[in-house]
Homo-oligomer: A and B are copies of this chain.
Amino acid sequence: MKKLINSPATVLAESLDGFAAAHADIVTLGPNRAFVQRKVIKPGKVAIISGGGSGHEPLHAGFVGQGMLDAACPGQVFTSPTPDQMMAAAEAVDTGAGVLFVVKNYEGDVMNFDMAAEMAGRNIAKVVTDDDVAVETSTYSTGRRGVAGTLIVEKIVGAAAEQGMDLAGLTALGDRVNSRTRSMGVALTSCTVPAAGTPTFTLADDEMEMGVGIHGEPGRRRVKLASADAIADEMVAAIAGDLHGKGDALLLVNGFGGTPQMELYLMYHAARTRLEQQGIRIARSLVGSYVTSLEMAGCSITVSLLDDATTALWDAPVHTAALRWGL
């Protein structure tokens, strides 16, 4: 295992300390590093909280800040955070208007966020994201997995919360955005969880995992390495075939951590061309490594259908470590 670390046991704590120090204008770290929260809480606003296993950075702590999340709870690498982290985060950022949990659809995450919601004695609703079209059920999930589309849900409900939308409205909005968002990924290499010390899976030099999950869990099938165009053909067909509608869309090409930008923009070009041929107009774009799997090489493609309201919410000002515009 080749990593810039001191010890697997201290990776998360040292990284969070660095994150909080580097972005001290935006975030503060909660007691015992249980959560990352916005430095300035806006009274009367519904609080948006997310979280999950670490190793997907910048998701979720990188999305904490004005116009997006109020807090994020980091679990150990690829391990759900605990209910007490979520309860502490809710205590810190709930100003009385209620809390929306945005949860990726993995059993551990859903269970722990549900427990926290039950025990917190607060007005808490949740949106569960399940945008991954690759598989219908998987290693860690019943039903589809929540992957890079989660970023889009977090941005759009975050903007709406900033503008004063109430908890019921935000929940419906988050569910609607999730239902109009589809993703699929491909891995060229594995990742290595620091505490494990060995690669999560192995791929031959001429193989890739089509439909891979963001923890390196299996996708649809293991296939021979193919060209970018052939990969885009399969991924776009799977996504577009599952989207209920056409029209304007946001295209997110997301790197898994070990893929150069040059390849991501090339995949963006391939995906965009194919989507537009199918009547999906790319109105907004995001290209970069936002929902990662440590150092895994590969990428995912996400398409989210937009309307005027969600386009305006996507464009609304945001000031986080990883996404920033209009502020």
Are A292 and B260 touching (Cβ within 8 A)? yes
Are A263 and B5 touching (Cβ within 8 A)? yes
Are A55 and B262 touching (Cβ within 8 A)? yes
* Interface range on chain A (Cβ under 8 Å from partner): 35 or more
Minimum Cβ distance to chain B for residue A66 (Å) = 13
Query: A1-40 interface mask toward B, CB cutoff 8 Å, 1 = contact, 0 = none?
Result: 0111111000110111111011100000000000000000
The answer to whether the Cβ of A215 comes within 8 Å of any Cβ in the partner chain is no
Report the nearest B residue to A269, measured CB to CB.
B18
Q: Which of A22, A54, A77, A282: most chain B CB closer than 10 A?
A: A22
Alpha-carbon distance between A17 and B5 when the two chains are bound, in angstroms? 37
Alpha-carbon distance between A228 and B294 when the two chains are bound, in angstroms? 17
In the complex, the count of this chain's copies comes to 2
Q: Which residue in B15, B55, B266 is a CB contact (below 8 Å) of A18?
A: B266
- Given known A-B contacts A188-B2, A231-B4, A325-B324, A15 and B262 have beta carbons under 8 A apart: yes
Which residues A179-230 have CB closer than 8 A to chain B? 186, 188-189, 205, 208, 225, 227-229
What would be 10 A-B contacts, judged by CB atoms less than 8 Å apart? A4-B231, A4-B264, A4-B267, A4-B299, A6-B229, A7-B227, A14-B266, A16-B265, A18-B264, A57-B261
